[in-house]
Structure 1
Amino acid sequence: MIQALKILFVEDLPEDLELAKRKIKSCGIIFESFLAENEDDYLKGLYEFKPDIIISDYMLPEFDGMRALELALTYNSNMPFIILTGSMNEEIAVEAMKAGATDYILKEHISRLPFAIREAIDSKKAMVEKKIAMDALKSMSDIIQQSPFSVISTSLEGIITSWNKGAERIFGYTSEEALGKNISLLYHEDDLDILNNDIIEPLLSKEYNQIQTRLVRKGGEVFIGSLSLWVVKDRAGKTVEMVGYTYDITKEVEAEEALETSEKMYRLLAENTQDCIWSMDMDLVFTYSNHSVYDILGFLPEEWIGSNLKDHCDEENYMKMLESIRLGLQKAPNSEGICFQVEVLNKEGHAVPVEIIGKIIFDKNGAPVSIQGNSRDITKRVETENALKESEERLELALRVSEHGFWVWDLDEDDFYFNPQSYMMLGYENNEVPMSIDTWSKLMHPDDRKNVMPEIIDSVNERRPFNFEMRMAANSGDWIWVLAKGNTFNLKSGKHWAIGTLVDITESKKAEEQMLLAKIAAEEANRCKNELLANMNHELRTPLNSIIGFSDVLLDGSLGMINEEQEKYLRLMNNDGHRLLSLINHVLDLSQIESDGITLHFSNFDPVLVAENVMEATETLARKKNIKTCISIGKNIGTITADADKFREILYNIIENALKFTPENGNIIVVMNRRNDEIEVSVQDTGIGIAEKDRERIFDAFVQVDGSNTRQYGGAGLGLVLVREYLKMHNGCIRVESKTGKGSKFIFRMPVYPIKKEMSDFESPVRSSICSPDSQHRYQPPKP
């Protein structure tokens, strides 16, 4: 967008003003105007309208063009000023031009006005650019002259063409003594070959050279100098001069400081540092800026120079900068500089956080003459600081919400910090007790202090995490259980901290105590149960054995013949005795399993023979219900190593269970196969089946699918429980496939030789020995 030219008209005739505006518009000049007919309006136009050019009549009733010219030049010596008058003799025109007018035009030649305006604006621009260039050149020249380093330039033949005060201080020659001499004057006579071969020739070929060499002062003193050299080219790109700066690096510490300072100055001035280097006068108008002002704020140096500090910030930041300048003036003239952070507006009007380092420059009389410094874009640093602050606030809020205590232990200073939650946990006000390890150690229960504190100290010294439970004295006098967690960290700053949390676990500890008491009570009840069952083993089996034994004697007729009715009752007595004895045996076996009182007796046997034996034992029951049973044996079954009695009981209970729940005229099929290192046996019946919801319950003690008082099928519900437990003891498993009314299929697997219990994958007390229908073999038994 083209910026409109601001024209201040000094005119009392409206028709002449309108004619001038039309002529200017007809030439395509876009402008804004302000009319002044007297001196007050004119001053208002100068300081508020801020014109780019003034077009004034020579004579007005209350004002005249020469007075307007005088005020304009006082306002700005470079202000373009054109006198536009109806009549003017040559003498008056010469006087006006001598007084500083840019041009004069007779109204009868008003068509020349647009061209005069353009010439005046271009002339002003050229003068401003020239002044900027001259000021920059003078500023650079002043910097070079005041530099503590030797800055010397030579012709291509090595003749010294410039010599600053730093060179005079380092080498001892005045400029009058050095100018016009050959640069070899400054080198040791033994290093002249180095001067040509290692310094000048590489400089001319690479256009830059940096080297350390011996140099000689005026008095003959030899010292080590660090040289930084570069070439200067004309507009045609031809090398015309060699320039370099030198400093004494004889003293190592002074050399390092000098090198750092020189490199900073070189990069700031010659390599366009990222920091914006600037200077301003005491009216806060910028007089110099390097190109980095464009990188930071988007202004070209020529746009920045001449602007006022107030134009680049809001009121708050402007007042902050004025305050910093005021403090610098108070410390005059020995101020070491000022450093502060503000927000500056970029060219688009957005705020940019910058860090400003500046210093007020005073003249010989102690009067401030300028302010010099540099500005650095700290957007990323501010964003990082804000993110860190936000992170700290989130952490504080999280700790506050969690109600956890938080502590930090500075291991280097042995200082402690506890957050308010740590004090509240024990009933104290914030900072009510001293922040020290000794104080908090005294709050521990004596037993815990004796055991836990050494462990905490060792963990911190060994830089490993720790996790301890301890009792601490609350303000109320009660003991509070606290979980202390922490770890040790080596920070990037080199510090060593231990950081952790405190959690009140009093309620969970009380719950643990209740659970422990309940466990003790349960173990005591279980012990009493085992003692009762052990007594039952003797007290119940002894009379049952007598009942079964004597009924057998009476039935075999050895004591005489009995009638049919007597035989019927004796057989009922005998059968019920056997059933009761079986139930007692099952209960006792289950009790022994729960108390780990059963020991397996391993032997090598043929499982097929055991299966056939079981089939024979259950044949009577099968015939009573007219149930057909058969067994299918796979190839290469071989022998297995297990407890043969337990294997027989497993198979017997499953087949007996199948016979019990299979109606008359049903079928039962037993299939035995060997699969890798396991034997798999399935018992399939055509019985009543098992609902899906009951397939796991049937392996629980004293559970019947039909639990009513009028159930059709007998039994105490212990047979399948023992099957599962015996299989677990062998690291085996069992599963069921069934549909209600369609029969059931029980499949169990067990290793063909023993496997240690800790190698088993089945650990659940309820489901550990129940096989999944699609489970795969997961054992890794040792080789026999």
Structure 2
Amino acid sequence: MQHDEEYIGNLKNDKDFKISYREIINNVRDGIIIVGLDGRFKYISPQIKEMLGGREIKINSLLFDFLHPSEINELKKKFLKAVRNQGVLTEKGIEFRVKDNNSHYIWLEARTKNHYNNKGTLIGFIISVRDITKSKKLQFRQQKLLYEQQILNKVSIKVNREENIDRICGILGEAIQSFNKDSYVIVTLYDKKLDALRIRGLFGLGKMNQKIKEIINKNFEDISVQTMDMANESNLYKAGKFELISGGLYRLTSRKTPKYMFKDIEKRLNINLVYTIGFSLGDKPYGGVIICLQTGKNLQHTEIIETLVNHISVIINHRFSEKELRESEEKLSSIIKGLSRGKIAIDIINKDYKIIYQSQLLKERFGDNIGELCYKTYIHREKPCESCKIKKVLKENKVYSIELIGMDGRYYEIISIPFSELDNKRNKVIEVIIDITNRKKVENQLKESEEKYRILAENTQDVIWTMDFNFNYNYISPSIE
């Protein structure tokens, strides 16, 4: 410490070393301004001009004329309060925006000290200013990412728990509208019954929905676009990326609704820009999101919305597949039940003769034998039947049938059909098992009856013969001899 004081003392006495406070201020990183109690600039260091990209600030100009409009009132209140209290309220940094020479707002941080005259009277404030634009941009970016991630997480949780496709569309539409609060969001999705894209959700209209209904004479949700009418516009519904639509809403309906109606709607809703992003799976368009922006508004959070739409499109596609699978299973179950009532059963056997599936009729007759060997279960054998066609069916990819007697003593016809998995591997067969016991009984009775009549015919003294329509004999009894 003593060494420092000696060094400074030597500098003061050094005739070659002369430096003023102005030189110090002009060469530090931060800018310095002095503002009087009337809010006008009394001193401005050169760094301020550099921060503002060359913009000049004149002495005696008013501080508040250079601030961002949204911050003027708050900063003016703080300034007036400091004047009334004869001193700054806080020495903590105050963040605010100022317009630079390119008419862009930059962020500054200011730290304030009281400025007194020689008599100790407060005459203004000394303000140290630093450019924090880069750090603020990084901060806003982090806040934006955090906000987007929170929305994405909430939507993902809701959608993964939801089975109803219309409600999934609703969750998606609400999330997108929360990213662009002054927008109107429309979610469309393919309707198989209509063979058309139908509106599944409409967000942001509020009371305007009734006015639109008056224009088009129906609810907005009732508008649909037939897929066959979309030949020239189908790319708009499957891009997976945002596209600005030059023709507005009219173009998105494949020009099948009168143009003046949509122009009237856009005018009433103050719509200036229309964007669309299609669900990105497959070549056939099956829906997407339309965002209508009011005049003066720009599309916000585009990247996260694109990510969200593409993520939801995969889930919707899975829900479609699950729904179709359930419907297919219900139809198959209904068919199998119908077959069971007709004494027809079905099972699935793999290449190792293990039972993979049994219809209810088989379970009732032989028990639930999933995973067991078919020849043990149905025939009570230790090895496959000699007449079994399973290997042949799989090898030749053809349908074969056999007849056999089951453990229950009944006659069955078994029709074996190749069964391919989704990967096209043939390693199972579907067996249609038909109870033919009654038919066999009739056949046996007929054989017995024919045998009796043959014996009678061959032992009678009368001559018996039969002939066809061409008078050709096809039977003559032995008594003719």
TM-score range, shorter chain: 0.3 to 0.5
TM-score of the aligned structures, taking structure 2 as reference length: 0.34
TM-score of the aligned structures, taking structure 1 as reference length: 0.22
**Structure of larger gyration radius:** 1
Specify which structure has the bigger relative contact order, considering alpha-carbon pairs within 8 angstroms and separated by 6 or more residues: 2
